[in-house]
Structure formats: structure tokens, C-alpha cells
Amino acid sequence: MIAVYLIGFLEGAGAHFLDLIGGGIHVYASFAPVPLQVFFVSLAVLDPLVVVLVGLVRPVGVRLACAVMGLDVIANWITNWPRLEENPASLLRPVGLLPITLFGLFVVASSVPLLRAVEARPERLGRMTR
């Protein structure tokens, strides 16, 4: 599960870095309101932060992953809704809303069992009993 988180968030970070390199800080201005633009730009920092924290097997990393993906899915649905109303088949594209939504659902659905596993790690138990 951790590997899937790492791959997904690394891909997201790469996509946001490429967007920023190619279009600058206002790259999302053509389709997103300012608060969502700020959020999408912040993903260039939040996604790598999730990678580091999950890679270090920290509970806060799993919680942050869940929050980031929850907000990311909502923001993407908001910005893509007009296109979906015009052409519902656009949801089926292999890049864009569908994979973001599926990954978000995976992160949310797997967060509780992953959190339990991370919090029950033997070295965590050792630290708690000292």
C-alpha cells in the first residue's frame, strides 16, 4: 500500500512541477478560481511532503495523504464539472479526472487499515513503553 501512495504522490508532484515550469504560477488561471489555483500550486509542495512522511512511515503522512487527496478530488471535480456536463464521456479519459478520483478513493479507503498498521509498528510500541 505504501508503494502505491508513493508512486501516486510522486506522479502528482511531477505533474504539478511540470505545469508550473511550463505555465508559471498562473498556469491554472484559465479554468480554476483563485482559491483552487492556490491549492493546485500548493500541491507542488504538499505532494512531495506526503511522499517524505509516508516514506518515513509516519501516521501524519497517511493523514495528510487522505486530506490532500480528498481536497484534490473535490477541486478537480469542481473545475472539470462544466466539461463533464458538455461531454460526460470525457470522464473516461485515462489522464485527468478518472485516475485522480480512483487514486483519491484508494487513499481514503486504505487510510484506516494503513494507519493501524503504521501505528502498530514494533518500534513505535517500544518508544511508547519507555
pLDDT of 67 reads: 98
Those residues of the chain that have pLDDT short of 50 are 129-130
The pLDDT of residue 100 is 95
Model-level pTM?
0.88
What pLDDT shows up at residue 92? 76
Task: State how far the Cα of 118 lies from the Cα of 113, in Å rounded to an integer.
Answer: 9
Cα of first residue to Cα of last residue in the chain, in angstroms, is: 30
Give per-residue pLDDT as tens, 44-71: 999 999 999 999 999 999 999 999 999 9
* Calpha distance 10→18 (Å, rounded): 12
Give the pLDDT confidence score for residue 96 in this predicted structure. 84
- Rounded distance between C-alpha atoms, residue 23 and residue 107, angstroms: 29
Cβ contact 60:51 at 8 Å: no
